[in-house]
């Protein structure tokens, strides 16, 4: 993106994803069988300290390159995604001041990709990928839901139709940690079957609208440039 340093987001996935075109339609959903994560909506622990083992595989880093920009230029880019004078705008400016490479549009693009990877990994039961994308608390919730699903012998079949909308609805800097909350509206096809192959939740033919509120965070003073999911909830 011209006039900006694009933020680097680490979302561990096979190296081929690095070369895929960032698109606005990404993802897969697990349907109604979602992890019970609402209780973590106020999590404020450092993603660098709480997500996975804190290490990164350089082959799995998605880097969005750019050039340096002035603070005025950065603020203009923030104004394009959040109305000037609002709490969201002020929060994004504070994050930019603490982390000069931050760019909100690049963050949104990376967050859409993260949304796909996370819901896909949950549907597939891929704990390794989830552990690198989530804070410890969120990962524990997802893992517990996977344990329950596996114990029952249930299977989730999900297909992603598209992301209709993804907007930053909250942003703030809590001492050194940046938090950004997104409202994501997507279209999914999802069904859960039991051991006998009977559909017990969802519909394998129906497209449903899913509204999620997800919060990502990172330590702005850490050398680790990566954001992790620290809270999720559903919007009815």
Overall pTM > 0.85: no
Asked whether 145 and 35 are in contact (CB, 8 A), the reply is: yes
Torsion angle of the four alpha carbons 83, 228, 64, 88, in this order, in degrees rounded to the nearest 10: 10
140-192 tens-digit pLDDT: 999 999 999 999 999 998 888 889 999 999 999 999 999 999 999 999 898 99
* Residue at token pair 């509204």: 211
Give the model confidence (pLDDT) of 191-228 as tens digits. Answer: 999 999 999 999 999 999 999 999 999 999 998 888 99
Long-range contacts at 73-81 (CB < 8 A, ≥ 24 apart) = 73/3, 73/4, 74/4, 74/100, 74/102, 74/103, 77/1, 77/3, 77/4, 77/103, 77/104, 77/105, 78/104, 80/104, 80/105, 81/105, 81/108, 81/167, 81/168
Domain at 22-234: CATH code: 3.10.450.240
Please give the pLDDT value at position 98. 95
Residue-wise pLDDT tens digits, 20-79:
333 333 333 434 334 534 333 333 344 444 444 444 444 443 433 344 468 899 999 999
């Amino acid at each position: 993106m011209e006039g900006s340093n694009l933020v680097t987001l680490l979302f561990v996935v096979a190296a081929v994803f690095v070369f895929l075109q960032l698109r606005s339609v990404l993802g897969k959903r697990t349907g109604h069988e979602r992890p019970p994560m609402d209780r973590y909506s106020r999590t404020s622990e450092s993603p660098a300290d709480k997500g996975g083992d804190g290490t990164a595989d350089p082959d799995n880093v998605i880097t969005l390159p750019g050039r340096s920009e002035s603070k005025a230029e950065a603020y203009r880019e923030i104004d394009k995604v959040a109305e000037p004078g609002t709490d969201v705008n002020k929060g994004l400016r504070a994050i930019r001041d603490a982390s000069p490479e931050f760019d909100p549009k690049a963050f949104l693009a990376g967050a859409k990709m993260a949304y796909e990877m996370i819901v896909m990994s949950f549907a597939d039961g891929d704990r390794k990928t989830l552990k690198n994308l989530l804070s410890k608390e969120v990962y524990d919730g997802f893992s517990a839901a996977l344990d329950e699903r596996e114990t029952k012998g249930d299977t989730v079949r999900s297909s992603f139709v598209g992301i209709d909308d993804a907007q930053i609805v909250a942003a703030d800097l809590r001492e050194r940690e940046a938090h950004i909350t997104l409202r994501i509206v997507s279209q999914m096809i999802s069904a859960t079957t039991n051991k006998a192959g009977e559909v017990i939740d969802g519909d394998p033919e129906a497209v449903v609208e899913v509204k999620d509120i997800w919060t990502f965070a990172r330590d702005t003073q850490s050398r680790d440039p990566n954001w992790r999911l620290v809270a999720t909830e559903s919007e009815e």
